[in-house]
């Protein structure tokens, strides 16, 4: 069973890790790695919260969870944006390739 101090320390560590992940998400485009790290954070949070929360921990845990939720939402939004950008870029490349193929076919069919 975790003590109040150890749970609060673990939550503080998770918040630091979530902030680091958010900062990295803003500058790195390896969203698969970022998603894996975000999932790891969620599992670590589940482990920290596995034991019942004592009444004297409620306020600290609530604040930590609010902070973690906000950081997670920001991180996921950045990752989703990166994924959408990558998808748009791939769609653009595909469109350009089809246009080039159509132009080549038209050019070969000209009299």
The pTM of this model reads 0.72
Q: What is the pLDDT of residue 106?
A: 59
Q: Percent of the chain at pLDDT above 70?
A: 88
Taking the C-alpha atoms of residue 22 and residue 98, their distance in angstroms, rounded to an integer, is: 37
Q: What is the pLDDT of residue 33?
A: 86
Taking the C-alpha atoms of residue 77 and residue 49, their distance in angstroms, rounded to an integer, is: 25
Taking the C-alpha atoms of residue 42 and residue 82, their distance in angstroms, rounded to an integer, is: 21
Whether 75 shows a pLDDT value over 80: the answer reads yes
pLDDT digits (tens, 9 = 90+) for 12-53: 999 999 999 999 988 877 878 888 888 999 999 999 999 999
Q: What is the mean pLDDT of residues 79-91?
A: 78
């Amino acid at each position: 069973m975790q003590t109040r101090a150890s749970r609060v320390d673990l939550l503080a560590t998770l918040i630091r890790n979530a902030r680091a992940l958010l900062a990295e998400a803003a500058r790195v485009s390896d969203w698969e790695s970022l998603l894996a790290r975000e999932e790891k954070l969620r599992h670590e949070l589940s482990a920290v919260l596995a034991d019942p929360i004592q009444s004297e921990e409620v306020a600290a845990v609530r604040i930590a969870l609010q902070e973690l939720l906000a950081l997670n939402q920001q991180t996921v939004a950045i990752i989703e944006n990166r994924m959408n950008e990558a998808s748009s870029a791939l769609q653009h490349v595909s469109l350009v390739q089809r246009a080039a193929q159509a132009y080549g076919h038209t050019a070969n069919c000209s009299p």
